[in-house]
Structure 1
Amino acid sequence: MSQPMTVAEVAALLNVTPKYVVKLIRDGKLPASANTDGTHTVARRDAEAYRLNAKRRGRKALEELARVSQEAGIYGKQG
């Protein structure tokens, strides 16, 4: 089994706020276990997988932005 992480630890890993991590959990985008005291823990493998997928989505969005910018002629010859 993967090492459990607190919401604060996941937030640090993803470079986001703990509040955003809770939102990801509530939205079903990040699997977590609810503890009896109302807190959540996330398996390290799930947090790492989310981070990797977020990086891929970001890279894909950046590539699409570059493509659209080139098609629009934003980076045309200067001078």
Structure 2
Amino acid sequence: MSVEQVAKMLNVSPAYVVALIRDGKLPASANANGTHTVEREDAEAYRLEARRRGRKALEELARVSQEAGIYDKQK
């Protein structure tokens, strides 16, 4: 997949995809002119892991909010 295709799949910018590749968070290969290619399986695995991390963060936010009493009824 091209960087643009991966960006559409992840709903991010192509520049963000390049940053993920540069930071080693998304495996990719580059041809002689520097164009990156990402295997569909790698892009999908990253997407699923990002969703898992997001879900976990929301669960933690809900837990902390409940402990702080944010949802308690006001008298």
TM-score of the superposed pair, with normalisation by structure 1? 0.92
Partner of 2:35: 39
- Of the three residues 23, 30, 35, the one matched with 1:27 is 23
What is the distance in 2 between the residues matched to 1:48 and 1:77?
Answer: 42
What is the CA RMSD across the aligned residues, in angstroms? 0.7
Aligned length: 75
Higher strand share: 1
Q: 1:76 & 1:35 partners in 2: Cα distance?
A: 57
Q: Please name the residue that 1:57 is paired with.
A: 53
Where in structure 1 do 4 or more consecutive aligned residues deviate above 4 Å? none
Query: Unpaired segments of 5 or more residues in structure 2?
Result: none
Q: Given the alignment, which residue of 57, 67, 71 partners 1:75?
A: 71
- Equivalent residue for 1:15? 11
Compute the TM-score of the two structures, normalised by the length of structure 2.
0.97
1:78 deviates by 3.5
Task: Give the deviation of 1:77 after TM superposition.
Answer: 1.3
Q: Percent of aligned pairs with the same residue? A: 79
Aligned partners of 2:22, 2:3: CA distance in 1, in Å?
12
Q: Which runs of 5+ in 1 are unaligned?
A: none
